[in-house]
Amino acid sequence: MTEQAATPVDTRQSERKVILASSLGTVFEWYDFYLYGLLATVISAQFFSGVNETTGFIFALAAFAAGFAVRPFGAIVFGRIGDLVGRKNTFLVTMGLMGGSTFLVGLLPSYASIGVAAPILLVLLRLVQGLALGGEYGGAATYVAEHAPDGKRGLFTSFIQTTATLGLFAALGVVIVIRSAMGEAAFADWGWRIPFLISIVLLGISLWIRLQLEESPVFKQMKVEGTTSKAPLTEAFGRWANLKWVLVALFGAVAGQAVVWYSGQFYALFFLEKTLKVDGATANILIAIALALGTPFFILFGWLSDKVGRKPIILAGCALAALTYFPAFQMLTQAANPAMAKAQASAAVRVTADPGTCTFQFDPVGKEKFESTGCDIAKSALAKAGVSYTSVTRPRHTGDAADVWIGDRVLIAPEPWRIAEEDRAAAVEAFRSELAAATAAAGYPAKADPARINKPLVVAILFYLVLLVTMVYGPIAALLVELFPSRIRYTAMSLPYHIGNGWFGGFLPTTAFAMVAATGNIYYGLWYPVIVALITLVVGLLFLPETFRRSIHQ
């Protein structure tokens, strides 16, 4: 008896199964990966409590970035395996590594229990997560694209693009529910572990779902024809004909997409919580609402890229980000913490000092108190209070003390070398108390007042930032799949994607906050995503080809 041809209904059911299974499994992986980012402040207190608060938070962000740092290496390792042995089995392995590592984070003892071993173990688990994610995305995107009919790859792969936001949304939901149920004190003490431990259940569901899938038809055809690559790394990166497209993909598409993505989702959240002093639960809820409103636009822009092309949508998102980030984040300050915005406008803070007496306000050891000069004392006190300031250069070697202007009021910072050693500590403490009183009198709040947060406007601004994310991220998977030949596709597309998102994007919160710490200007860190987005815009306009009408059977 001959085998019947697949009916349109069978084909549609198969396509839906591929999208659902690939997307749902990937949602769970992103859930695992993003828990850390959402809980960076809590984790800072648990694992980096042996250093000062500012350094501890930057260390926590650096550990967050560590998972991104190794993603390109995961892309190389698992991309090669995916092109040699198949798409399906490769992302089963990456899923197991991701889920297991996340579960173990929930069991880790804190710094108070085992000292420096705690952050070391945390970073090691983050590295395993990064390696796993480096192999996951390329496999899922390639797998779905190779099942998609011509003219619908943007639409089909856009469902994979929603998984990062849906994973973040799922993590936000779990964190919000647990945080609200047990209260901030219990959550900060031990409740933060529960979202990590839950991941073992999600891992079991994900593995079961992925086991139901068959191998990609494009890969099966290559196996039958004997055209799979024997050396995908050499072929992808050792030959200029392919390597040049890896570089174009990175600088002309992915780098800008990455900084827009991480600015719109993660940096916005950190900015609300750490800089604008909105309490963690409220910040999580506000960004969750924005994500819920914005997520359907991944599908919209993926579908639209099948009609008008991938390139114009991605580059338009980068251009809008570069043009509007500064006003958008300034509006966010006014909406989320109007008292802070008013104080910045009416009583701007300036530190006037000889630049030779000012050090970079970040200590990698975590023990520096920044008390050797008046400039350091003033800037460290302002940084600890979360007060934005500008630096004014005084002529070098005048011997004048550093001073702090709060509107029209001026405070003279104590110069330790001018004070008797036994009196220095008291002088520094007296200055800090005076500075705290002066900033409070000028209207600088210790925390955002929940009653004064303009929540609809905050959500609208966050929604706009997420909308830019959907523009750059919705079509990117289809573009990368179409840019490279099928025999090296998994390897070639994974590396630029994970260099862009792992390094340019993953390091964004750490880099931006370090820039803020160095300058005192709470908006200064935005220069990083703005400049990278502009680079992508220029390179993309000049060198990135349009791919949406290409065949992927090559």
| 3-state secondary structure labels for all residues of 489-541 | HHHHHHHHHHHHHHHHHCCHHHHHHHHHHHHCCCCHHHHHHHHHHHHHHHHHH
Burial class, 286, CB count within 10 angstroms (exposed 0-12 / middle 13-18 / buried 19+): buried
Residue 112 CB neighbours (<10 A)? 12
Residues 73-104: tens digit of each pLDDT = 888 888 777 777 766 677 778 878 888 888 89
Residues 197-229: tens digit of each pLDDT = 988 887 888 788 777 777 666 666 666 656 666
User: In this model, does residue 13 exceed pLDDT 60?
Assistant: no
Report which secondary-structure segment, H or E, holds 353.
strand 349-353
**Average pLDDT value over all residues in the chain:** 82
Rg for the chain, CA atoms, rounded = 25
Calculate the alpha carbon distances from 304 to 174, 261, 308, 310 in Å: 32, 19, 6, 8
Beta-carbon contacts of 463 under 8 Å, excluding residues fewer than 6 positions away, are: 290, 293, 294
Give all domains of the chain, ordered by start, each with its CATH number: 8-337+449-543 (1.20.1250.20), 342-441 (3.40.30)
pLDDT of residue 453: 94
Of how many residues is the chain composed? 554
Rounded CA-CA distance 246/252 in Å is 10
Which amino acid, one-letter code, is at 242? N
pLDDT of residue 6: 47
Residues 246-303: tens digit of each pLDDT = 999 999 999 999 999 999 988 998 899 888 999 888 998 898 899 889 999 999 999 9
User: In this model, does residue 60 exceed pLDDT 90?
Assistant: no
Q: For residues 414 and 61, which has the higher predicted lDDT (pLDDT)?
A: 414
DSSP three-state, residue 42? helix
What share of the chain in percent tops pLDDT 90? Answer: 25
Q: Which candidate, 386, 384, 379, 385, places its Cα nearest to that of 351?
A: 379
Residues 160-191: tens digit of each pLDDT = 888 877 887 788 888 888 988 888 888 888 89
Strands 403-406 and 409-412: antiparallel
pLDDT band at 315 (very low <50, low <70, confident <90, very high): very high
Beta-carbon contacts of 235 under 8 Å, excluding residues fewer than 6 positions away, are: 229, 242, 487, 488
